[in-house]
Amino acid sequence: MLARVTCFALDGLRPRRVTVEVDLRTGLPALTIVGRADAAVRESRERVHSALLNSGFQFPQRRITVNLAPAQLRKQGPGFDLATACGILAASGQIPADRLAGWAVFGELSLGGELRPCGGALAAAEGARAAGLDGIVVPWACAGEAGLVTGLEVAAAHTLADVAALLRGAAPKAPPPVAPAASGGTEFLIDLADIRGHAGALRALEIAAAGGHNLLLSGPPGTGKTMLARRLPTILPPLDPEEALEVTRIHSIAGLRVGRGLIEQPPFRAPHHTISAPGLVGGGAGPSPGEATLAHRGVLFLDELSEFSRPALEALRQPLEDGHVTIVRGQTATCFPTRVMLAAATNPCPCGEGGAACRCTSADLTRHRRRLSGPLLDRLDLLVAVHRPTAGELAAPPVTDSATVRQRVAAARWRQRARNGGLNTTVTATDLARALRPGARALLREVYERGTLSARGHARALRVARTVADLDGSEEITVEHLLEALGLRQEQGETTPVAA
């Protein structure tokens, strides 16, 4: 007796169809699973055995072989439990096999026969739709997530017995509605209105958000660098439906938001500085996505940039540039998207005080700068100087709130998309320079020739000036736009006076 059940494995972020074949033969009772299965899949033997018995089914006293095809694909995770159980039920004639032909099943089993949520239900449902199946059975808790896929029937079940009833022809219970409330919708719990003072830093954040510029927050400890960075997602435009689905899929696969609805806010990830290179960009035997991928379409915040290990920061460089990272393990290559806005924070100097209170010698400062410096710093477009607010500023009402800024950011982004088809960070310096007014062009040239800006710094200043002009609603870049951009430059080099 042979039964076939369709399930889905994850190859990086892509669903791959897996056919679970179950064969019952005469022989000593045994259950063998073959087909490049990892430990979690092989352990499913025990779970399936107990779940079948505890749900009131028979466990066939035969020699059972379970094959996960195709054989060359690595399979991991507990998502095959339900498919294995259904295959055994169908092969032993306890449920009809015909319905399994057009349906996929996905889920983990508990010993008692309940279905447990597991990561990747959204990707599995998308795989089922792409494979042209009629529907998918998922654990109840994952229904909201799988239900995001249109054009596919999603049946949610609490227990293995429910699944058996469904496959016998019972009408599926309506899955719970996709509740955007579960993800918080577009409402944030934090807001720029929580912040007192910091007018200059807020303006710099707005510019960074509008142009998608990577930024460096610099300021003494305890002045609010992290507080400001955490509010960065609140001024980014909400994810569009396609992006939201992409982000939700990634987070579902990583097991971060199992069983909740669509993620509509740009994600924010703040890994600790002890993180390794694979932790940051993805890796491991799987391989599994890293923090940069979890922050895809959102903000990756690196607090205490100088404390991160050099290999980790070096590994981040290429993904930042390309917007994706490819990890090769053995014969397989996995691609993870890493389109993030990078926010890094650092103390201005080793003693942390900066300014008049600083006790560091210039050699200390050079050393500190060298620790930070390197190719990663080159990819940070602007400096957000964070200062200790004065008592007056703390007593004053907040400077602005997230909704106001978000509107301006969205308008500036709209201008950029209409002009470039993308954000200013994707445009070459030559194209950007066309919009310079003659005065601004002369100033930029002079500043560059005096050595205040490096070649990369020149391009950065131009990009930021373009964004300032976009926020101003201007197609041309004026001297004022350029000056503000130069004031936000992150290089610390000497300034040689120029006539401005």
Partner 1 sequence: MTACDDCLRRAWLIAMLSGNLERARRRGGVLALDDDALIDALGGTERHELAKQYAGFDPRRGRAIVQAAGLTSRCAHSDGYPSRLSDLEDAPAALFVAGRPGALDALASDDDLAPAVAIVGARRCAGEGEEVARALGQGLAAAGVCVVSGLALGIDSAAHHGALAASRPQPAGPIAPTIAVLAGGADVIYPPSGRGLYTQIVETGCVVSELPPGVRPRKWSFPARNRIIAGLAGMTVVVQARERSGSLITADLAMQLGRPVGAVPGPVTRGLSQGSNALLHDGAHVIRDARDVLEALLPGYRHEPARGPNLAPDLAAVLTAVENGHATPGEVAGAHGGDPAAALTALTRLELLGLVRRDPAGRYARAADLGPALL
348 makes contact with partner 1 (CB under 8 A) = yes
191 makes contact with partner 1 (CB under 8 A) = no
Determine the 3-state secondary structure of 256 from DSSP.
Answer: coil
Buried b (16+ CB within 10 A) or exposed e, 411-439: ebbebbeeebeebbbebeeeebbebbbee
Q: How many CB atoms lie within 10 A of CB 187?
A: 12
- The CA distance from 403 to 409, in Å, is 10
Which of 138, 142, 383, 435 lies at the binding interface for partner 1 (CB under 8 A)? 383
Residues numbered 417-446 forming contacts with partner 1, rule: CB under 8 A: 443
* Closest to partner 1 by CB, 10 or 202: 202
* Closest to partner 1 by CB, 280 or 468: 468
Report CA-CA distances (Å) from 473 to 226, 413, 437, 470, 476. 30, 11, 15, 5, 9
The stretch near partner 1 (CB under 8 A) out of 47-55, 232-240, 347-355, 409-417 is 347-355
Phi, psi (5° rounding) for residue 175? -65, 155
Q: What is the total count of residues that contact partner 1 (CB under 8 A)?
A: 50
Determine the 3-state secondary structure of 402 from DSSP.
Answer: helix
In the structure encoding, which two tokens stand for residue 249, read together? 């899929």
214 makes contact with partner 1 (CB under 8 A) = no
* Closest to partner 1 by CB, 219 or 287: 219
Residue 300: name the closest of 260, 336, 253 by CA: 336
Which of 78, 185, 200, 278 lies at the binding interface for partner 1 (CB under 8 A)? 200
* Closest to partner 1 by CB, 114 or 484: 484
488 makes contact with partner 1 (CB under 8 A) = yes
457 makes contact with partner 1 (CB under 8 A) = no
Phi, psi (5° rounding) for residue 329? -130, 115
393 makes contact with partner 1 (CB under 8 A) = yes
Q: How many residues does the chain have?
A: 500
447 makes contact with partner 1 (CB under 8 A) = yes
- DSSP labels, 38-79: -HHHHTHHHHHHHHHHHTT-----SEEEEEEESTTS-B-SST
Q: In angstroms, what is the minimal distance from the CB of 270 to partner 1? A: 22
The stretch near partner 1 (CB under 8 A) out of 102-110, 113-121, 173-181, 353-361 is 353-361
Q: In angstroms, what is the minimal distance from the CB of 393 to partner 1? A: 7
Residue 277: name the closest of 224, 314, 326, 229 by CA: 314
The stretch near partner 1 (CB under 8 A) out of 74-82, 114-122, 294-302, 478-486 is 478-486
Positions touching partner 1 (CB under 8 A) are 197-203, 218-220, 348-349, 353-356, 358, 360-363, 365, 369, 383, 385-387, 389-390, 392-393, 443, 447, 450, 452, 468, 480, 483-484, 486-488, 492, 494-500
